[in-house]
Amino acid sequence: MLINLGDNGQGYEWLEDWADVPQPEQAQAGWAHHGLAVTRSGELVGFHPARSEVVIFDRSGHVSRSWPVGLKEGHGITLVEDDGEECLWVADPGTKMRKAPDNSYQRDVAPGQGQVVKFGLDGKEVASLARPPHGAYENGFFAPTAVAVNEIRHGGNGDVWVADGYGESLVHRYRADGQYLGTLSGEEGRTGRFNCPHGVFIDRRRATPELWVADRGNARVQVYDTEGNWLRTVGEGFLNSPSAFAADGPNMVVGELFARLAVIDPDDRLVGYLGEDEQARQRPGWPNGVGPDEHPVRNPHLQPGRFNSPHGLAADGDGNFYVAEWLIGGRMIKLGHAH
């Protein structure tokens, strides 16, 4: 089916459950909560809904390869290139909702808290980042949700920015060699402290790159320069739950957990929404449904053309978008650019 950005905007072909997820019986019971990335060749990188496994799909949605990792969740996935070699940064918050024998879902928590790990596309671990030496972690929990890199190939300095969205609501800065440099709290600007900085993204649409922070709990984006100086706030009044970013030419696409994508123009103005379902959050058990035993089950109200809970977002450079939703069984959607 075709959906449009506003009355006269760009059209997209909605391809439901586009990806052929492996071990489908296990996947149907897994509570998906992962990110997405696209490789140089157009492959889509995701994470299995139930297993601790990176999964890479070809352009047709078939599994190209996969490998197990020692992570609870592939929550944030960022593709980078180092000296022409493609690698993946994966943010693992250290928790995963898993189905128990009584059909309830229980939180599986890593004893060592969350972690940030870099892999080659062959599955080998390349590097990792230490938990930041910040006072918030003397008693707090480190639960990283996203990574952004000011890549050298784009003229950057290689800095790595890590969003601790589920822990202490901070954004940390590391040097390319892993040395901790500092922390942002949101209090640098005029709008105040972060509340679940769920996503981070280096925005290169302008001559001078910027760091965008999805300040989800505050329903806004906070924008910094790449040295961590606060610049402005975007989206107050028209964003409700910014979670992930993907650039599309001059526009920024923002994945919103509360059932839509928002498209923002180069002047920070709303162009419109894609696939919005205003009723999604009002349904019992959202993002899932409620079974006869009152435990969560896969949402029975999913419908083509309407999002339920966008979480992971990626663009392939050809005008196509990929969305991974947060719910039992997962939901992988491709929005194909309609020419």
Helix intervals (H) in the chain: 24-29
pLDDT band, very low/low/confident/very high, at 6 (cuts 50, 70, 90): confident
Q: Residue 95: CB partners within 8 Å, gap ≥ 6?
A: 72, 73, 107, 108, 109, 110, 114, 143, 166
Query: What is the percent of the chain with per-residue pLDDT over 70, rounded to a whole number?
Result: 99
Name the architecture of domain 2-337. 6 Propeller (2.120)
Per DSSP, the chain holds a count of helices (H) and strands (E) of: 1, 31
Angle formed at CA 167 by CA 194 and CA 120, multiple of 5 degrees:
105
Distance between CA atoms of residues 288 and 329, nearest Å? 9
Stretch 211-239: mean pLDDT: 98
- Per-residue model confidence (pLDDT) at position 7: 67
Nearest to 267 by CA among 247, 242, 289, 250: 250
Nearest to 50 by CA among 328, 249, 339: 328
Average pLDDT over residues 303-321: 96
| pLDDT for residue 188 is more than 80 | yes
**For residue 10, pLDDT beyond 90:** no
> From CA 19, how far away is CA 324, in angstroms rounded?
10
> What pLDDT is attached to residue 4?
87
Cα–Cα distance between 12 and 286 in angstroms, integer?
26
Q: HSE of 224 in the Cβ direction (CA atoms, 13 Å)?
A: 26
Q: Given this model, what pLDDT does residue 1 score?
A: 87
The pTM of the whole model exceeds 0.85: yes
Looking at the DSSP assignment, which residues form a beta bridge with residue 248?
251
Q: Are 276 and 220 in contact (CB under 8 A)?
A: no
Radius of gyration for the alpha carbons in the chain, expressed in angstroms and rounded: 19
Half-sphere exposure of 99 (CA within 13 A, CB side): 20
pLDDT tier, 321 (very low <50, low <70, confident <90, very high otherwise): very high
